[in-house]
Chain A
Amino acid sequence: MSPPVPSKILTDDVSLLMVLIDSNPHFWSSIKPHFSFSKFLSHVLAFLNSILLLNQLNQVVVIATGINSCGYVFDSSSGSVSQRAESLLPKLEEFAENDESLSERDDDSGNGVGSSLLSGSLSMALCYIQRVFRSGPLHPQPRIICLHGSPDGPGQYVAIMNSIFSAQRSMVPIDSCVIGIQHSAFLQQASYITGGVYLKPQQLDGLFQYLATVFATDLHSRNFLQLPKPVGVDFRASCFCHKNTIDMGFICSVCLSIFCKHQKKCSTCGMLPNVCRSIFGQAQTRDPSASQQRK
Chain B
Amino acid sequence: MADKQQQVVVKRARHKSSVKDPGTPGVLKLTKDRFTFMPNDPSSPVKHNVEFRTIKGHKFTKDGTKQALLNLTQDQGGNYIFEFENFPDRNVCKDFVASAIALSGEAGRTVPEKSAVPIQDEQLSAAEMERRIKLLQEDSDLQKLHKQFVIGGILSEAEFWATRKKLLEQNYSRRPKQRVALKNDMWSTKPLADGQSNRVTFNLTPEIILQIFAEKPAVRQAYLNFVPNKMTEKEFWTKYSRAEYLHSTKNVIAAAAEAAEDEELAVFLKQDDMLVNEARKKIRQVDPTLDMEADEGDDYMHLPIQDHGLPRNDNKDVLDSQYEPYRRSFSQHLNQHAAVVLQGRVIDVELGDTRSVAEALARTKHAELAKDASDVYLDKERLERISRMTEIEDLQAPRDPAVAPLSIKDPRDYFDSQQANAFSTLGDTVSGAKQLKCSVSTREAYCSLKECISEIKFQGLTEPTINSEVAFKVLNGLAQNISSNKYHLGRNPNESVLDSLPKITREELLLHWSSIQELLKHFWSSYPITTKYLLTKATKLKDAMSQIYPKLQEIKESVQSDLRHQVSLLVQPMLQALDAAFAHYDADVQNRSARSGERPNGF
Q: Which residues of A contact B (CB under 8 A)?
A: 23, 25-32, 36-39, 41-43, 45-46, 86, 89-90, 92-93, 96-97, 99-100, 103, 107-115, 151-156, 158-159, 181-182, 185, 201-203, 205-210, 213-214, 226-229, 231, 238, 241-245, 248, 268, 271, 281-284, 286-287, 289-290, 292-295
Would you list which residues of chain B between 27 and 74 have a CB under 8 Å from chain A? none
Instruction: Please list 12 pairs of residues, one from A and one from B, whose beta carbons are closer than 8 Å in the complex, sorted by A's number.
Output: A29-B444, A29-B445, A30-B440, A38-B453, A41-B452, A42-B462, A154-B429, A155-B416, A155-B422, A156-B415, A290-B513, A293-B513
Decide: A213 near B475, CB < 8 A? Known: A38-B455, A203-B470.
yes
Q: Please, how many angstroms separate the alpha-carbon atoms of A281 and B436 in the complex?
A: 38
**Interface membership of B171, Cβ < 8 A:** no
Contacting residue for B438 out of A30, A245, A286, CB 8 A:
A30
**Interface membership of B406, Cβ < 8 A:** no
**Interface membership of B226, Cβ < 8 A:** no
- A286 and B576: CB pair below 8 A? yes
Measured CB to CB, the nearest residue on chain A to B461 is A42
Name the A residues within 8 Å of B433 (CB-CB): 151, 181-182
The 6 A-B residue pairs with the shortest CB-CB distance, nearest first, are A25-B445, A206-B474, A290-B573, A37-B452, A155-B422, A38-B452
- B436 and A206: CB pair below 8 A? no
Name the B residues within 8 Å of A182 (CB-CB): 430, 432-434
Interface string of B469-488 (1 = CB under 8 A from A): 01101110110011001100
Measured CB to CB, the nearest residue on chain B to A231 is B485
**Interface membership of B449, Cβ < 8 A:** yes
Q: Please, how many angstroms separate the alpha-carbon atoms of A286 and B439 in the complex?
A: 36
- B434 and A205: CB pair below 8 A? no
Q: Please, how many angstroms separate the alpha-carbon atoms of A125 and B509 in the complex?
A: 44
Least CB distance from A99 to B in Å reads 7
- A292 and B429: CB pair below 8 A? no
- A26 and B475: CB pair below 8 A? no
Measured CB to CB, the nearest residue on chain A to B434 is A181
- B489 and A229: CB pair below 8 A? yes
**Interface membership of B110, Cβ < 8 A:** no
- B478 and A281: CB pair below 8 A? no
Name the A residues within 8 Å of B477 (CB-CB): 202-203
Least CB distance from A181 to B in Å reads 6
Interface string of B178-197 (1 = CB under 8 A from A): 00000000000000000000
- B421 and A42: CB pair below 8 A? no
**Interface membership of B423, Cβ < 8 A:** yes
- B416 and A108: CB pair below 8 A? no
**Interface membership of B425, Cβ < 8 A:** yes
Least CB distance from A290 to B in Å reads 4
Q: Please, how many angstroms separate the alpha-carbon atoms of A292 and B499 in the complex?
A: 12
Secondary structure at chain B's binding surface: helix, strand, loop or mixed? helix
Would you list which residues of chain B between 372 and 397 have a CB under 8 Å from chain A? none
Least CB distance from A88 to B in Å reads 10
Q: Please, how many angstroms separate the alpha-carbon atoms of A36 and B445 in the complex?
A: 12
Name the A residues within 8 Å of B573 (CB-CB): 286-287, 289-290
- B482 and A99: CB pair below 8 A? no
- A153 and B422: CB pair below 8 A? yes
Most buried by A among B440, B452, B461, B486: B452
Least CB distance from A293 to B in Å reads 6
Least CB distance from A266 to B in Å reads 12
- B498 and A293: CB pair below 8 A? yes
- B453 and A96: CB pair below 8 A? yes
Name the B residues within 8 Å of A97 (CB-CB): 450
Least CB distance from B145 to A in Å reads 14
Name the B residues within 8 Å of A283 (CB-CB): 524
Q: Please, how many angstroms separate the alpha-carbon atoms of A89 and B454 in the complex?
A: 8
- A209 and B471: CB pair below 8 A? yes
Decide: A43 near B478, CB < 8 A? Known: A112-B437, A243-B422.
no
Name the B residues within 8 Å of A114 (CB-CB): 423, 426
Q: Please, how many angstroms separate the alpha-carbon atoms of A109 and B580 in the complex?
A: 41
**Interface membership of B229, Cβ < 8 A:** no
- A226 and B486: CB pair below 8 A? yes
Contacting residue for B465 out of A28, A43, A155, CB 8 A:
A43
Name the A residues within 8 Å of B423 (CB-CB): 111-112, 114
Q: A38-B456, A43-B466 are in contact. List 16 more A-B contacts (CB 8 A).
A: A25-B442, A32-B448, A37-B448, A46-B461, A108-B442, A109-B441, A155-B418, A210-B478, A229-B482, A243-B421, A281-B524, A284-B580, A287-B573, A292-B496, A293-B498, A295-B510
Name the A residues within 8 Å of B527 (CB-CB): 282
- A93 and B430: CB pair below 8 A? no
- B453 and A93: CB pair below 8 A? yes
- B466 and A209: CB pair below 8 A? yes
- A248 and B429: CB pair below 8 A? no
Least CB distance from A147 to B in Å reads 15
- B462 and A39: CB pair below 8 A? yes
- A208 and B454: CB pair below 8 A? no
**Interface membership of B500, Cβ < 8 A:** no
- A26 and B440: CB pair below 8 A? yes
- A281 and B474: CB pair below 8 A? no
Decide: A42 near B456, CB < 8 A? Known: A29-B448, A114-B423, A284-B577.
yes
Name the B residues within 8 Å of A155 (CB-CB): 415-416, 418-419, 421-422
- B453 and A110: CB pair below 8 A? no
Q: Please, how many angstroms separate the alpha-carbon atoms of A268 and B417 in the complex?
A: 13
Q: Please, how many angstroms separate the alpha-carbon atoms of A32 and B451 in the complex?
A: 13
Q: Please, how many angstroms separate the alpha-carbon atoms of A241 and B430 in the complex?
A: 18
Name the A residues within 8 Å of B430 (CB-CB): 151-152, 182, 185, 245
Most buried by A among B423, B510, B525: B423
**Interface membership of B140, Cβ < 8 A:** no
Q: Please, how many angstroms separate the alpha-carbon atoms of A227 and B438 in the complex?
A: 35
**Interface membership of B161, Cβ < 8 A:** no
Contacting residue for A243 out of B418, B448, B453, B454, CB 8 A:
B418
**Interface membership of B173, Cβ < 8 A:** no
Q: Please, how many angstroms separate the alpha-carbon atoms of A37 and B452 in the complex?
A: 6
**Interface membership of B446, Cβ < 8 A:** yes
Measured CB to CB, the nearest residue on chain B to A106 is B442
Name the A residues within 8 Å of B452 (CB-CB): 28, 36-38, 41
- B453 and A205: CB pair below 8 A? no
**Interface membership of B570, Cβ < 8 A:** yes
Name the B residues within 8 Å of A228 (CB-CB): 478, 481-482, 485
Name the A residues within 8 Å of B531 (CB-CB): none
Decide: A244 near B425, CB < 8 A? Known: A92-B453, A293-B509.
yes
Q: Please, how many angstroms separate the alpha-carbon atoms of A135 and B474 in the complex?
A: 40
Least CB distance from B534 to A in Å reads 13
- A227 and B482: CB pair below 8 A? yes
**Interface membership of B443, Cβ < 8 A:** yes
- A159 and B415: CB pair below 8 A? yes
Q: Please, how many angstroms separate the alpha-carbon atoms of A159 and B415 in the complex?
A: 7
**Interface membership of B414, Cβ < 8 A:** yes
Q: Please, how many angstroms separate the alpha-carbon atoms of A290 and B576 in the complex?
A: 11
- B465 and A208: CB pair below 8 A? yes
